[in-house]
Amino acid sequence: MQELTDRFGRAHHYLRISVTDRCNLRCLYCMPEEGASFTESDKLLSYDDIEKVVRAGASLGIRKLRITGGEPLVRPRLAELIQRLSRIPGITDIAMTTNGIFLAKEAHALKAAGLNRVNISLDTLDPARFRLIARSGGIQRVLEGIESACDAGFHPVKLNCVLLKGLNEDEIAAFLELAYEKPLHVRFIEYMPIGHADDGWKKHYLPLQKVMDIARQQGYRLTREDGVTGSGPSENWQMEGAQGSFGLIHPVSDQFCRSCNRLRLTADGHLKPCLYWVDELNVKQALGSEEDMKQLFYRAMAIKPENHEMAMKLAGEGQSHTPTSRRMSQIGG
Ligand code: SAM
Ligand code: SF4
Name the more confident of 90 and 225: 90
Q: How many domains does the chain have?
A: 1
Q: How much is the pLDDT for 227?
A: 56
- What CATH number corresponds to the domain at position 45? 3.20.20.70
Q: How much is the pLDDT for 198?
A: 67
| Stretch 310-332: mean pLDDT | 89
Q: How far is the CA of 86 from the centre of ligand 1 (A)?
A: 24
Query: How far apart are the C-alpha atoms of 292 and 322, rounded to whole Å?
Result: 27
pLDDT digits (tens, 9 = 90+) for 193-244: 998 666 678 999 999 999 999 999 999 999 998 754 555 688 999 999 999 9
With a cut of 90, say whether residue 245 has pLDDT above it.
yes
- Ligand 2 contact via 332 beta carbon (within 6 Å): no
Q: How much is the pLDDT for 87?
A: 98
Residue type, 118: V
- Ligand 2 contact via 27 beta carbon (within 6 Å): yes
Neighbours of 200 (CB within 10 A): 12
Instruction: Please provide the DSSP assignment of 255-311 as one string.
Output: --GGG--EEEE-TTSEEES-SSBS--EE-GGGTT-HHHHHHHHHHHHHH--S---HH
Q: How much is the pLDDT for 218?
A: 97
Give pTM, 2 decimals: 0.96
Range of the domain at 314: 14-331
pLDDT grade for 256, boundaries at 50, 70 and 90: confident
Query: How far apart are the C-alpha atoms of 229 and 222, rounded to whole Å?
Result: 19
Residue 152: inside a domain, yes or no? yes
Using CA positions, which residue lies closest to atom 2 of ligand 1?
98
| Stretch 171-186: mean pLDDT | 98
With a pLDDT cut of 90, the percent of the chain lying above it is 86
Residue 145: inside a domain, yes or no? yes
| Stretch 101-124: mean pLDDT | 98
Q: Ligand 2 atom closest to Cα of 328?
A: 3
Separation in Å, CA 82 to CA 41, 109, 110, 146, 296: 19, 10, 7, 19, 23
With a cut of 80, say whether residue 179 has pLDDT above it.
yes
Residue 93: inside a domain, yes or no? yes
| Stretch 54-81: mean pLDDT | 98
- Ligand 1 contact via 71 beta carbon (within 6 Å): yes
| Stretch 149-155: mean pLDDT | 96
| Stretch 120-131: mean pLDDT | 98
Residue 1: inside a domain, yes or no? no
Query: How far apart are the C-alpha atoms of 298 and 66, rounded to whole Å?
Result: 20
Least confident of 64-73, 125-134, 154-163, 251-260: 251-260
Residue 9: inside a domain, yes or no? no
Q: How far is the CA of 42 from the centre of ligand 1 (A)?
A: 25
Using CA positions, which residue lies closest to atom 8 of ligand 2?
70
Using CA positions, which residue lies closest to atom 4 of ligand 2?
27
Q: Which ligand is the nearest neighbour of the Cα of 69? A: 1
pLDDT grade for 315, boundaries at 50, 70 and 90: confident
- Ligand 2 contact via 71 beta carbon (within 6 Å): yes
| Stretch 233-261: mean pLDDT | 92
Residue 4: inside a domain, yes or no? no
Least confident of 146-150, 204-208, 226-230, 264-268: 226-230
Q: How far is the CA of 205 from the centre of ligand 1 (A)?
A: 14
Using CA positions, which residue lies closest to atom 11 of ligand 1?
333
Residue 49: inside a domain, yes or no? yes
Count Cα atoms within 13 angstroms, Cβ side, for 262.
23
- Ligand 2 contact via 99 beta carbon (within 6 Å): yes
Residue 169: inside a domain, yes or no? yes
Q: How much is the pLDDT for 57?
A: 98
* Residue to mutate (ligand 1; options 23, 25, 27; most atoms within 8 A of CB): 27
Q: How much is the pLDDT for 231?
A: 52
Q: Which ligand is the nearest neighbour of the Cα of 97? A: 1
